Structure 1
């Protein structure tokens, strides 16, 4: 755990989903390989399956941006079909019960809620995916609300978090996430940012500007107690 500035106890915490609460690769990678197998069967993509690193490195972006990185040579039809397949295959994977939250997520969220902290999710993912992950792991009821780019049609995480703050009447909050988009969303909305340095999907500069870095999710409870 590293602190770059003094933290003030917030009334709320806003969490990213992938790479923050949820070990995304546990559902994403099986779905990813099935997706490309189907695209090839349907004749929509004929090149070799792109390296896993491409999609893991683009987590946190909007799906439209992800497919441009993952398959820059793909057609618009292939990318649209990939959108449909990814959601379908990930929801199937969640139902199979082989996916994981990061260690300590559920207990830590329970503790924070008991202490009176309002909990929210803000994700650039699709609505059914984000809520599906939370429901599958028994944490959906812990959150006051779940905001996703898929549901609200926002083009950046900055706008999504701004919308959340306005609609939920939140005055003080910590933004908690693992990507530069989370840092930007926090800073542009005058929030303290807690960078999650345990997922490892981004590069070394990903969390530059965070007010604190945590190496495991449970450390956020210590940050709150010390604030």
Structure 2
């Protein structure tokens, strides 16, 4: 049995905003070329719903399209995102790497993300996150697309009995609370105040996690 830290990826570790706009523009240009879209790409709409499962994303962005076209749009979008990452146009948030390195000295680290597996692996390999991350889990493996169930799956597979979920959206906070873990919200690009106010802690800078988590470690040792 172990205590672990489970991180969200988009908007928590990775600055998705840096590659979101060009990848969406590329996708909707493809739809325009196929006479399936007119007007600007719905970038602000996607920013509002960032963090929800991808099937919800495309139902929201393309409400009048068929499931087949939505799937094709998502496939195109995923390929564009991965190409942006490989071209070096993305970035981790400031001080993510040294913070992960520090935390990994005391806790096993995992990722629970609503992103697709290939996209997550592109980030993992580009920034060599497997130096500290022991497992990267995609919502793809959960039929319900429920992040709380994804975290529950990680806990069962990795024999985790306590720990923390670090994320920026309601799905992350709820995943922590539903599994009796400590919810830590990062107040970064996509965070919404109404969603993150339910977290046990809110941080403005990534290294703040170290002091918060260290406090719990001290409490556990004292007990």
Q: Same fold (TM over 0.5)?
A: yes
Work out whether 1:218 is the aligned partner of 2:207: yes
**Secondary structure at the counterpart of residue 90 of structure 1:** helix
Question: Contact between 1:27 and 1:94, CA under 8 Å: does it hold in 2?
Answer: yes
Structure 1: segments with no counterpart, 5+ residues: 1-9
Deviation (angstroms), 1:217: 1.0
What is aligned with 1:71?
62
Deviation (angstroms), 1:152: 4.5
- 1:68-92 deviation line (CA, Å, top 9, x unaligned): 2222233323211111101111111
Deviation (angstroms), 1:153: 3.9
Alignment of 1:129-144 (within 5 A): 129-144=119-134
Alignment of 1:104-123 (within 5 A): 104-114=95-105, 116-123=106-113
Compare relative contact order (CA 8 Å, sep 6+) and give the higher one, 1 or 2. 1
- 1:30-55 deviation line (CA, Å, top 9, x unaligned): 11100100111123x22213431111
Q: CA RMSD in A?
A: 1.5
Question: TM-score when scaled to structure 2?
Answer: 0.91
Work out whether 1:189 is the aligned partner of 2:179: yes
Moved more, 15-24 or 148-157: 148-157
What is aligned with 1:39?
31
Alignment of 1:1-227 (within 5 A): 11-43=3-35, 45-114=36-105, 116-199=106-189, 201-227=190-216
Question: TM-score when scaled to structure 1?
Answer: 0.90
Deviation (angstroms), 1:150: 1.9
Question: Contact between 1:180 and 1:206, CA under 8 Å: does it hold in 2?
Answer: yes
